[in-house]
Every structure is written in structure tokens, then in C-alpha cells.
Amino acid sequence: MLGVVVAGCGGPDRETFVREANTACRDRAAGQEALGALSTAEQLDASTKLYEQELARLKALEPPEEDRAEHARWVRANVEVVSAWRRYAADADSRAARDRVLDRFDRAAELAGALGLAQCDG
């Protein structure tokens, strides 16, 4: 029994962390794919909510000790994605807002790739 308790003290294992992170990203992407029949304004609003939900799930993840610093950087990058997305959703005609979103996506995807998160890296 003590072995089980000691084994559980280091936080979740890497496999669980990767699976949960990939599921959060996959769920958001699937949600966005389902928005095709909506108007552009409705798509932007619904996508904003999907990104906010994904961010909440990513923040709640408990990475293994060796991934905590990289996870924190990745979460911060996703905070920037959501912030940039909100600005874009408020002004979808702004090329600068669109470019900012794409830049933030690229940074978050790069960090996701470094964590081995195949469903979150692009």
C-alpha cells in the first residue's frame, strides 16, 4: 500500500498528461468544425467560447514534474491565443488582429510540439 501512495506523490504520469491535453485540443477543434452552418459572427462568438473552455482545461492539467515549466509556458502562450482571438472576434476585418492570432497560434503550437502534444501542435 505504501508503494502505491509513494508512486502517486510525483503527480500524474506523462501518458495521462499527454492524453488529457490532446483530448482538450481535439475537443476544441471538433467543436469548431461543427460551427460551419453558423454565420461568421456566430462562428466567432462560439469559437471564442471554445478557446476559453480549452484554456480552462489546459490550466487545470497537472503535468508531471519534469514538464511543469514547459506546461506553464504553453499555458501562458494559450492565454495569449485567447486574448488575440477575442480582439480578432471583435474586429474580424482587421488584418493586424488576424496576423496576431496566427502568430500566437504558431507560438503555442511550437510549445505544444515540444511537449509531444500531437493534437495541439497545429
Read off the pLDDT of residues 36-77 as tens digits, 9 standing for 90 and up: 899 999 999 999 999 999 999 999 999 999 999 999 999 999
Checking if the pLDDT of 2 tops 80, the result is: no
For position 11, what pLDDT does the model report?
65
Q: Write phi, then psi, for 24 (nearest 5 degrees).
A: -60, -45
| Helix H or strand E segment including 40 | helix 40-60
Share above pLDDT 90 across residues of the chain, in percent, rounded to a whole number: 87
Contact 81, 26 (CB under 8 A): no
Q: What CA–CA distance (Å, rounded) separates 37 from 86?
A: 21
Taking the whole predicted model, whether its pTM rises above 0.85 is answered as yes
What angle do helix axes 40-60 and 68-90 make, rounded to 10 degrees? 160
| Nearest Cα to Cα of residue 117 among 73, 52, 85, 56 | 73
